[in-house]
Structure 1
């Protein structure tokens, strides 16, 4: 089974090299988007070959921002321009396979007409509060800097309450919001979503060939409408592709969806989330049914877990 891995990477070239080595079965191609804030030299020096492509268009990716969606679209377009066939699998540079690649191949062959992405109606995803749902649907996310979490969601100024207006003006006075971004909120109209129902879920997906090209064509034909809305959405990478795909099902009855192939633990108590997997998590990882990848890992913290996972591979 031909596999095309679309990888969002931003650091640790040694770990990325190790991940690609673990995935590379001779029937795989790797398209890598390296965050534009990161120097490419050390990555390119370690990762070479006709089946490894560092895409030329690079975005400065900011956590929670639309830049991650743009980077993903760049990866999709690069894979399409190469006339890629087979499955298309979105991964981060901190993922790793948790099952033998031979099992992945057999599974994809048995499910070659399915797409793998987890989703729920936006209002039901992740036990989100009504405020968080409202922020995503109605308010404008403004990124104040490239620092993770340094953002706020604001209602259109002339549709806001007295209290909300005071907050916005206070942020302007304290220079939390720039004059440029204040003008966006000041002139903003009510946000109009491109879909009646939106869906949210894990960022990590795998699409069969037919769906991949259908989805990419839809994005390219409706890019302006989609950009106008989602560029101001909080964490749009958790909503953008899910909403498009599920709404496409109404006109493309052949689109069939199963849960994501990537395991991420957002539930463990007392640790930073998502869980950074270590040696003690081996059984948790390998016991996941119909999950073939997991995130996240960090070789600067623990390499033994990757050694154990490597031993699963049958070359």
Structure 2
């Protein structure tokens, strides 16, 4: 049984299409719509197998609020049923494989944890220690709180550079990507670890891109590390900048020719099962994707890469 955890802030039509493509027996969807978004645009998605978070978080780019939304989804799904696989996707993702093949893939790999992890610092993956050591003011703080902290930082009463080793203790810092597909055991472990370590939570609330370091650090220092494989989501960062490229016709051609991440990828080789990002205006492109998915050549099983 698969629980899809979906982070959304726009493109409700695409999200509906994503759910329809992944829907099958034993599958359920848990959606976090950014508190700042128009919740009414997503209300029609709430069905028997779709749960919208009733008290969503206001999510800000690069802020710990994204981790809070992920943990809310994780806790809700864990309590909702006996799901064995939890897959975190964005609301602008789309599958690169038929649903039956995805379900079979996860059933055949019951213990694998699909998440990108590298020890920090890692220049090749763009994961400097500055993400942990440079104190970052949270955008969710009140204007008065932010002003007070700025004054304390300027006066060096609060150090801008922090001792991450002291905060992490025996933990080795890990960085990676936001998106993953984890087992129930790993999700239970993460939720329990977060509840028992409020000091670590406080530290990561003052870091940048905690969605790429916090859960990754916990899991990288856990017994589940032995089963970690690279993640399953293709993202095109070739253009540089803070955001990945939108999918286009050239990407559909790429997916026809490539089904695996190459061995030269910093996170290792493995199957490409999802891709981001698509939007409400990509109907023709998504039709091409659906044609690609329905082609007989893609009905073969997804080949895992064992480590």
Same fold (TM > 0.5):
yes
Partners of 2:216 and 2:56 lie apart in 1 by 23
2:284 maps to which of 304, 307, 314: 304
Partner residue, 1:58 = 56
Distance apart, 1:274 and its partner CA: 0.8
Q: Quote the Cα distance in structure 1 between the aligned partners of 2:253 and 2:115.
A: 24
Partner of 1:104: 102
Give secondary structure in 2 for the equivalent of 1:44: helix
1:187 deviation in Å? 3.7
Could you tell me which of 200, 203, 214 is aligned with 2:178?
Answer: 203
Does the CA-based 8 Å contact 1:116-1:261 persist in structure 2? yes
> Residue 303 of structure 2 corresponds to which residue in structure 1?
none
Contact preservation (8 Å) 1:117, 1:260:
yes
8 Å CA contact retained: 1:117, 1:206 = yes
SS at match of 2:16: helix
Q: Provide the residue aligned with 2:266 in structure 1.
A: none
Between the aligned partners of 1:107 and 1:141, the Cα distance in structure 2 is 40
| Cα deviation 1:148-167 (Å, max 9, x = unaligned) | xxxxxxxxxxxxxxxxxxxx
Q: Is the 8 A contact 2:259 2:272 kept in 1?
A: yes
Structure-2 change in CA distance of 1:134 and 1:212 (3 Å): closer
> Which residue does the alignment assign to 2:268?
none
- Give the corresponding residue for 2:112: 114
Residue of structure 1 aligned with 2:248, choices 273, 278, 281: 278
Q: Deviations over 1:124-169 (max 9, x none)?
A: 15454xxx724212110124589xxxxxxxxxxxxxxxxxxxxxxx
Q: Is the 8 A contact 1:57 1:74 kept in 2?
A: no
CA contact (8 A) 1:101 1:313 kept: no
Distance in 1 between the 2:70 and 2:152 partners? 26
What is the aligned counterpart of 1:288 among 259, 262, 270?
A: 259
Q: Is the 8 A contact 2:33 2:56 kept in 1?
A: yes
Deviations 1:260-310 (A, max 9, x none): 0111111247x884111012210223423211101111232x322211222
1:243 and 2:231 are equivalent in the alignment: no
Alpha-carbon distance between aligned partners in 2 of 1:94 and 1:109, rounded to the nearest angstrom: 25
Contact 2:63 2:139 in 1 (8 A): no
Check the 8 A contact 1:66/1:233 in 2, yes or no: yes
Report the Cα distance in structure 2 between the residues aligned to 1:27 and 1:100, rounded to whole angstroms. Answer: 16
The residue that corresponds to 2:5 in the other structure is: 6
Taking the TM superposition and a 5 Å limit, the aligned residue runs for 1:211-250 are: 211-222=186-197, 224-249=198-223
Q: Secondary structure at the match of 2:86?
A: strand
Give 5+ residue unaligned stretches, structure 1: 147-174
Aligned to 2:233: 262
- 1:70-98 deviation digits (Å, cap 9, x = unpaired): 11011011112213412000010010001
Taking the aligned partners of 1:125 and 1:72, their CA distance within structure 2 comes to 26
Residue 20 of structure 1 corresponds to: 19
Between Structure 1 and Structure 2, how many residues are aligned?
275
Q: What value does the CA root-mean-square deviation take over the aligned residues?
A: 2.5
Cα deviation per residue 1:3-58 (whole Å; 9 max; x = unaligned)?
1000100012111111111111222100001100012112112x131110001221
In structure 2, the residue matched to 1:182 is: 150
Measured in 2, the distance between the counterparts of 1:74 and 1:214 equals: 15
Larger radius of gyration: 1
TM-score by length of structure 1 reads: 0.80
